[in-house]
Chain A
Amino acid sequence: MNPEAPHADLNQSRRVELILQQLDALPTLSTIAIQVLELTSSDDSEMRDVIDLISCDPSLSSKVLQLCRTSERGRIANVTTVDRAVILLGIDIIRSAVLSVQVFELFDGIVSSGGEVFTQRAAFDRNLFWQHSLAVAITSEMLCKASSLRHHFSGSEAFTSGLLHDLGQLCLHLILPKSFDRVCELAVAQHITLDLACRQTIGIDSHTAGRRLAEHWQLPHRLCDVLWLHGQPYDSLPDLDHKPLIGLVSLADAIVRKEHIAPLGHSARGENISQMCKSFDIDMDTVTEILPAMRKELENCSKTLGLNTEQCIQQLLRTVIRANEVLGRANVTMRQNAQNSRKQAQVLEAITAFHDSAAPGGSVVSLLSRVVQSATRIFGEGFYTILYQSRNDEPWQLYQFDGSGRLQHSQIAPPSSGILELQELTDNVQLSPHVLECIPSISEVLADTIDLESVRKLPLRCGWGVNAVLLHNCPIESDETRLLLEALSRTWGAAIAAGAQHEGAKRLGEQLVEANRELVEAQDSLAQTKTMAAVGELASGAAHEMNNPLTVISGRSQMLLDCLVDPEQRTMAKQIALQSHRLSDIITALRLFAEPTKPCKSMVSVQKLVTSVIQHNPNKKNKEIQLHTVLSNELPEMIWIDADQIGRALKELIRNAMESEGSSHIELRVQIDPANDRLKFQVTDDGSGMEPHTLTHAFDPFFSAKAAGRQPGLGLAQARRLVEASNGTITLENGSQKGAVGTIKLSGWRGENQIQRSVA
């Protein structure tokens, strides 16, 4: 058989077909039996023919004689001939007897030949089956005779119908003994009807099989329908002539099953017998009355047919014990179900409470706290710790809670190679010492608060890359509550994941704002860079275009100077030359302002730098201004800077200080900023300080607080460009009491990397 799943339906139907074929292959009734049936079903048959036929078959003859002796109609012990027996019993009874005997012998024969199947203790008890069938047959006959139904059909037909009503089960058991045993067990275990179990397991039920066999054996069609339709509600039966017969057998079947005369799987299905009785105008008292008689008759018939001659009381005991067993099992199951239901209700309540308490938009930490609170509701107070990871590449975090679910301590779980294994272990098993060894960082933290051996973990299924594991010490029966734990873990996990997503979205929003701010700043900076580039381009072009005429002016004035003798005229010529050079310097300064040359750093002596800066005194007129320098002791002798550019910036600061109104004393101090190890040049004057407006615009190109007497060039603006080119800062502020303080701060001045740079 092809076990492939997509063909399951096909296989099923194919299997059913095979079963039906096997049914057809069962041996047919003997020719004598068929002839007897044919003869007895026709009204004008000769009694003589029937007698002759039966006489031909010795076993049939003996059974008929036996039947005659045990029959209710007359215990005539001296009936010794078949013809007397036939006359005495009547055609109907003969027909029933022949059928019963034939069927019984037939199956008995088949069973004996394949006997080993039944050497084992099987769920399907053949003996009980026949007992049941006989009981149904007797009950049917008795009910028929005790009610108005006797006008519709004879008691013997009711007997035969009752006897053979479950023939289908017998043949299914013959064909598929093991499967049918399993069906019986399944029906008992799952409390379903045998037919449903049959359909689920084998594909067809015993009714269909019985009908098929009845057709194969060419049984009368009334009998066929009994085999096929018995057990269905009376009202739902098709409107047939023999509908009462089918209903009667169903009723007898129900009564007998209620009396526990039934094989495994045939226990009472809870049919309403009194309701069924009403359909046939049968009194419930009648039913009660015929039961003892039925049991007695059953014993007799069993003997006649050679069935188990067990005492009635023993049989009753057996069936009662069997029924008790079933009842006991049902009780256990129900108790378990009730227990599970209680737990489920508890968990559902906890989940509802959790949902009520988990405020939307709460932080992940508050959610984790709520998870633990929810857990304490279900498992009781105890040790609770959550390991949480907001993204797969983020570090794990450890949250420890007190007994009532309040966060006590949280920390980043130190990275550990073993921590990922926590995710992989999804079963709720006790963490073994080995597992804790894999995450020594965690076990170390937990060892102080809890006995590590008792720690269990419950992975919270979050999804979306969020991972969380609940560590606890609560004894949770894993088998019964696995599904509930799964539901809890998913509920909690989903809430945590949602919280993490929410937090992530919030963080993204913040990052967006930050990015926007940076973008605006970058745009400003870009705009400034663009402006500077434009100025640079303009200055570069201007430098080239203007320097040529300036060269001619300068050159010609110098030549003129050589020709002149008059001192006044010579001075004028000199001035022409000088001013043309000055103009050229402005152009150069503008160009350098826009495009400062890259700093060219080298190791220079601080002392030399300072000396060169103060030697260049731009304000020679103000001889009274004192300038002195302070070099901090911690300064190394050599520093790594662009001495030319920083020197020029310093000169600008000093010039600014000298121009300050009323300044008479200027100090240049060089020291190291202890906060961030930056080199700090500070130029302090004792002048009147600077106006706020001047301070704001001091570094703007061509800005001057003074209305006249400005310096050529770009002064402080140029200084700022130079300092910034060295990644430094330059600031101007008013002193605490008087005067102004100009500060240049430089990092990377120690030149630790100068070797790499020079190599690069």
Chain B
Amino acid sequence: MAKNNGTKSWADKQVFTTGEAAEICKVSQQTIIRCFDSGRLNGFRVPGSRFRRIPRGELIRFMQTNEIPVDSLESGKMRILVVDDDKEIVDLFLDVLSRDDRFEVKSAATGYDAGLLTERMKPHLILLDYMLPDINGNLVCQRIKSNPNLADTKIIIVSGVVNQEEIDSLTEMGADAFVKKPFNIEQLIQKMNELLGI
């Protein structure tokens, strides 16, 4: 069984057994089973067996309802989502940010992927290219900011062309900061730290 203390993080896990849930919530497995069976903790049974399984979202909802700290589910790192259709840029960001062990970085090349990934990983910060092949940055901004589950997600727009009118409209849509390409790495990290409060 993987432990929370480093060898294995719960952070990536999407579905939990009753045993894992008991460990995370620091209660007995019996309690979890009772809550599952009474419907207070939603989940499903593995088809063809009686094994109970609990999706990550349901577990978090259960823990929040019962005021159990969700820290143990987190890795402790800041989840960063890089969205850019240029693979070289994505690679650059991944290389730059992975040197810093405070960041956990994922990337998407399209607005669609970005939406899916945002739903799943609930990033603390998104580095968003304004010009995406399928959807414009302001729309991505708007979607994220209108989702209550993502209320705390910060967005930095990264663009080669940033003029004042666009900045104004993006601020209205919820963008938190702007970085012009090409950027100074130190200044970028500093701005991210400011937004994330670290």
Which residues B121-178 have CB closer than 8 A to chain A?
131, 159-161, 163-165
Q: How far is the CA of A591 from the CA of B166 in the complex (A)?
A: 15
Q: Does B92 touch A at the CB level, under 8 Å? A: yes
Chain B 91-111: CB-based contact to A (< 8 A → 1; otherwise 0): 010011000000000000000
A544 contacts B92, CB within 8 Å? no
Identify B92's interface contact among A540, A555, A591, A597, CB under 8 A. Answer: A555
Cβ of A553: which chain B residues have Cβ within 8 Å of it? Answer: 182
Q: Range of interface residues on chain B?
A: 10 to 19
User: Closest chain A residue to B188 by CB distance?
Assistant: A555
Any A CB within 8 A of the CB of B89? yes
Cross-chain contact B164 with A597 (CB below 8 angstroms): yes
What chain B residues lie within 8 Å of A555 (beta carbons)?
Answer: 92, 96, 182-183, 185
* CB nearest to B162 among chain A residues: A588
Contact among A550, A556, A597, A600 with B181 in the assembled complex (CB-CB below 8 Å): A550
At the interface, yes or no: B194 with Cβ under 8 Å from chain A? Answer: no
Are A584 and B181 CB-contacts (below 8 A) given A546-B160, A551-B89?
yes
A555 to B163, CA, bound (A): 22
User: CB-CB < 8 A to A552: which residues of B?
Assistant: 88-89, 92
* Chain A residues touching B, majority SS: helix
Q: Does A559 contact B (CB under 8 A)?
A: yes
Most chain B Cβ neighbours within 10 Å, of A549, A551, A580, A588: A551
Of A544, A558, A559, the contact of B160 (CB 8 Å cutoff): A544
In the complex, the answer to whether B185 meets A597 with C-beta atoms within 8 Å is: no
User: CB-CB < 8 A to A577: which residues of B?
Assistant: 182
> Which of A571-610 touch B at CB < 8 Å?
577, 580-581, 584, 588, 591, 597, 600
Which residues of A sit under 8 angstroms from B12, Cβ to Cβ?
none
Separation of A558 and B96 alpha carbons in the complex (Å): 10
> In whole Å, how far is B7's beta carbon from the nearest beta carbon of chain A?
30
A580 to B92, CA, bound (A): 15
A559 touches B86 (CB 8 A): no
* Interface presence of B184 (CB below 8 A): yes
* Interfacial chain A residues near B89, Cβ < 8 Å: 548, 551-552
Q: Is A96 an interface residue (CB 8 A)?
A: no
How far is A550 from B184 in the complex, measured between Cα atoms in Å? Answer: 12
Decide: B181 and A551 in contact? CB cutoff 8 A. yes
In chain A, positions 539-575 with a C-beta closer than 8 Å to chain B are 540, 543-544, 546-556, 558-559
Residue of B with least CB distance to A581: B182
Are B161 and A548 touching (Cβ within 8 A)?
no
CB-CB under 8 A for A580 and B182, given A548-B86, A548-B88, A552-B88: yes
Measured between alpha carbons, how far is A610 from B112 in the docked complex, in Å? 50
Given contacts A551-B181, A554-B183, contact A584 B96 (CB under 8 A): no
Residues from chain B with a CB closer than 8 A to the CB of A558 are 184-185
Residue in A547, A549, A556, A584 with the greatest tally of chain B CB atoms within 10 Å: A547
Taking the nearest CB of chain A, how far is it from the CB of B45, in angstroms? 49
Q: Across the interface, name the chain B residue whose C-beta is closest to A549.
A: B88
Q: Which chain B residue lies CB-closest to A561?
A: B185
B164, A600: Cβ atoms closer than 8 Å: yes
Output the least CB separation between B167 and chain A (Å): 11
Q: For the complex, what is the distance from the CA of A555 to the CA of B88, rounded to whole Å?
A: 10
Alpha-carbon distance A548/B95, docked complex (angstroms): 16
Q: Which residue of B lies closest to A588 (CB)?
A: B161
Q: Which residue of B lies closest to A556 (CB)?
A: B92
- Output the residue of A540, A555, A577, A591 with the most chain B CB within 10 A: A555
Contact yes or no, B96 A547, CB < 8 A: no
Whether A543 touches B160, Cβ cut-off 8 Å, given contacts A551-B89, A552-B92, A555-B96, is yes
**Per a CB cutoff under 8 Å, which of B92, B161, B164, B165 touches A543?**
B161
Known: A544-B131, A548-B86, A552-B89. A559 touches B164 (CB 8 A): no
- Chain A residue, CB-CB nearest to B186: A558
- Report yes or no: B163 in contact with A597, Cβ–Cβ below 8 A: yes
Contact B161 A551 (CB under 8 A): no
Partner of B161, one of A540, A554, A580: A540
In the assembly, what is the distance between CA of A577 and CA of B92, in Å? 14
Contacts of A600 in B (CB 8 A): 164
Minimum Cβ distance to chain A for residue B168 (Å): 11
* Contact among B131, B165, B182 for A551, CB-based, below 8 A: B182
Cα of A549 to Cα of B92 in the assembled complex, Å: 11
Q: State A580–B165 Cα separation when bound (angstroms).
A: 25
Nearest neighbor of B130 in chain A, beta-carbon distance: A544
A600 vs B165: C-alpha distance in the bound complex, in angstroms? 11
Bound-complex Cα distance A546 to B159 (A)? 11
Please, how many angstroms separate the alpha-carbon atoms of A543 and B160 in the complex? 6
Chain A: minimal CB distance from B155 (Å): 18
What CA separation (Å) do A600 and B168 show in the bound complex?
Answer: 13
A587 to B, closest residue via Cβ = B160
- Cα A288 to Cα B136 in complex, Å, equals 131
Closest chain-B Cβ to A720's Cβ sits at a distance in Å of: 20
B118 to chain A, nearest CB (A): 23
The answer to whether B161 and A591 touch across the interface, beta carbons within 8 angstroms, is yes
Chain B, Cβ-Cβ closest to A548: B86
Write out the residue numbers on chain B whose beta carbons fall within 8 Å of the beta carbon of A556: 92
CB proximity of A3 to chain B, nearest CB, Å: 82
Contacting residues, chain B, for A551 (C-beta < 8 A): 89, 92, 160, 181-183
Q: Which residues of B contact A546 (CB under 8 A)?
A: 160
Bound Cα distance from A577 to B184, whole angstroms? 9
Q: Which of B89, B131, B160, B165 is packed against the most chain A CB atoms within 10 Å?
A: B160
> A580 — which chain B residues lie within 8 A by C-beta?
182
Q: Known contacts A554-B183, A558-B185, A559-B185; decide if A597 and B88 are in contact (CB<8 Å).
A: no
Shortest A586–chain B CB gap in Å is 13
Nearest-neighbor residue (CB-CB) of A600 within chain B: B164
- With a CB–CB cut-off of 8 A, which chain B residues contact A597? 163-165
A548 touches B181 (CB 8 A): yes
In the complex, what distance in Å separates the CA atom of A600 from the CA atom of B183? 26
Q: How distant is the Cα of A540 from the Cα of B181 in the complex, in angstroms? A: 14
Name the contact of B182 in the complex, choosing from A540, A544, A554, A591 (C-beta under 8 A).
A554
In the complex, the 5 A-B pairs of residues with the closest C-beta atoms, listed nearest first: A547-B160, A554-B182, A551-B181, A551-B182, A555-B92
What are some 10 contacts across the A-B interface (CB < 8 A)? A551-B92, A554-B184, A555-B185, A556-B92, A559-B95, A559-B185, A577-B182, A584-B181, A584-B182, A597-B163
A interface residues with partner B (beta carbon < 8 Å) = 540, 543-544, 546-556, 558-559, 577, 580-581, 584, 588, 591, 597, 600
Told that A548-B181, A552-B89, A559-B95 touch, could you supply 20 new A-B pairs with CB distance under 8 A? A543-B160, A543-B161, A544-B160, A547-B161, A550-B182, A551-B92, A551-B160, A551-B181, A551-B182, A551-B183, A552-B88, A554-B183, A554-B184, A555-B183, A556-B92, A577-B182, A581-B182, A584-B182, A588-B161, A597-B164
